[in-house]
Structure 1
């Protein structure tokens, strides 16, 4: 079992989640139950799956939750691109968010590869 609060990937993804909430707060009200909700849910999923996976008794189970985490990250990337296409976020905001997301993806992937099972 891992202490998720000590994992850098959990800390960083938690901060990223806050950034997504801030970014989506500027989306049109008509997107409240659309893209805003989708992005927020997917961003919450990242640190949540890391935390839940860390409680599992085996590294194999934890690895499965990290794979779900990666899926959420790629979902966010797609949704950010769509938000940019719709002019809800600027190119700069898109680049910043995707840059941070890519770092999280790398960290999760590397951590996942170190789990022995």
Structure 2
């Protein structure tokens, strides 16, 4: 098996990048598109997942990489929490229309 030379080749980073791309798409939908604070936090949480994977990989040692993967997992939880809240908000938003 070949050693991975760059974080862009990591499947986990590729998936995290897709989460951020999807977060951009979601940010243009109601109700988040007009809530600039939430939109910013939502994007930052999504970006933090791939950022932590990339940063940890670049340290070139397993203990640091594992630590940053743990941070990425925490950011993933933060992002999922915001998705859940947005879904509930969206339901209420549609009821008001």
TM norm structure 1: 0.68
Greater Rg by CA: 2
For the structure 1 residues 69 and 51, does the alpha-carbon distance in structure 2 shift closer, same or farther, using more than 3 Å as the test? same
- Cα offsets for 1:20-59 (capped at 9, x unmatched): 1110111241x112x2111100100111111100011320
CA distance in 1, matches of 2:43, 2:81: 13
Work out whether residues 39 and 76 of structure 1, in 8 Å CA contact, stay in contact via their aligned partners in 2. Answer: yes
Match status 1:15 vs 2:18: yes
| 2:36 maps to which of 32, 36, 39 | 32
CA distance in 2, matches of 1:73, 1:53: 15
TM norm structure 2: 0.81
List gaps (5 residues or longer) in structure 1.
89-117
Question: Considering only aligned residues, what root-mean-square deviation do their CA atoms show, in Å?
Answer: 2.1
Match status 1:70 vs 2:73: yes
Runs of 4+ in 1 over 2 A off after TM superposition: none
1:1-117 map, 5 Å = 3-26=6-29, 27-29=32-34, 31-33=35-37, 35-87=38-90
State the number of aligned residues. 88
